[in-house]
Chain A
Amino acid sequence: MTVTPVLVLLDHAPDGSLRPPVRELLTLARGVAGEAGVHGVWAGDEDLDAALPVLAAQGVSTVHRLVTAADVHLSAVLADGLEAALGASGASLLLLVSSFDNKEAAARLAVRTGAGVVTDADGLTVEDGAVVAHKTVLAGTWTTRCAVSAPSAIVTVKANAVPAQDAASPSSPQVVDLPVEVRAGSTRVRLVERTEHAASGRPDLGSANVVVVGGRGTEGDFTAVEELADVLGGAVGATRVATDEGWIGHDAQIGQTGVTVSPRLYVGAGVSGAVHHRGGMQASGTIVAVNSDPDAPIFEIADFGIVGDLFTVLPQAAAELRRLQG
């Protein structure tokens, strides 16, 4: 067991609320942390008061709040902050939500500190004193366990890796301001503009428990897809064809070059299951496919496949679910 604390980056929205996967990471962190417990690192000017009750319930002992005039949205600046937080906490394991910006910071940190880094983990254990990350690779077709042999480890963790659970006994987290010395090189990139994506009112695609996806088969009409997503409390995703056609925003694209999802439930409607798309969803817990073509490749990986017309199957499923839920 590690005697040093485990440090978790506390990703949060502009209103200061924690991103949902952070609770999962904190749950994982407690599982491997031992006596030294779990620390958080807060990057950004947002007020963290709203997050404190969650952090207390998760048993976080200390939150290192980065203090810097530089913009922590720049991954090099974030890396500077995380380096400081690793120093202040003495942690030898850092967990981050798997996102492109977090991976950028992880890469820089690994180069600087000599840490071993594993991305897109869906589980974590400590074996013989070494951090072992579990992950699926090659578009969800293989599972691996990967040990970090360096003295310190950085692991980025996918959403829905574990169910979030509160600690057995809550803590009262201590918030400590941590001044960050920003390297001269870190502010060479200038952030000209940053536009936060508008909230859809639905869960975040990347971390949703349920994702309903529309492809070319929707012919641009996402009503049935959205209706089923709303009954299931899920997010709406799309194939690249649907986003390229402009039927839905590019943020909705799932696949190797879009968002990677691994929800408990994936429903694909009018989606053929091209390899580029599968790379972003094949690790989902349960896969449901509705497609009028019995030879569509998505049926090869579906737990429940329906050969049928999405415009009749989806509304019927939504209506029946509403009835069953009363």
Chain B
Amino acid sequence: MSNSKIITDAPAPEGYSGEGFFATKLDSVVGMARANSLWPLPFATSCCGIEFMATMASHYDVARFGSERMSFSPRQADMLLVMGTIAKKMAPILRQVYEQMAEPRWVISVGACACSGGIFDTYSVLQGIDKIIPVDVYVPGCPPRPEQILDGIMRLQDLVRSESVRRRSSPEYTELLASYNIK
């Protein structure tokens, strides 16, 4: 999408500091703010959803990433986590949920079923959610452990942190959405 270097180990963004001030790019500040408050929208249909419940619980504590508040309203969420088998009958609903989310929005596909249909290579199952919505991070596993889900969220944070504020209005992004027929 963009040529920006993906920052993976930066506690504070690059900038210019002096006596009592710190100057940096708006991109970095906005990216930092977004990355550390990703509000998840769990779309859990099966076993991976149970793993995500464990991720939410005290031991793994997804709240450490600023994702304390699970949103079940697409309008107040920016990280869609699709966890579980998506049947073809469910596909339009998933797509509607994605369309109802406001920009900027990111998608994590958790587990083999959401990524590729998994073991369900059959007539009733959608063979990967990237057939209907764009996906940012794929988490493999069947089901993935909570650590893997957390790793997926951290990977997404890297993406979010280094994303330009102009990316969502870029022609490439418009083209990507157009390829999915999403306005």
- A and B: bona fide binding partners: no
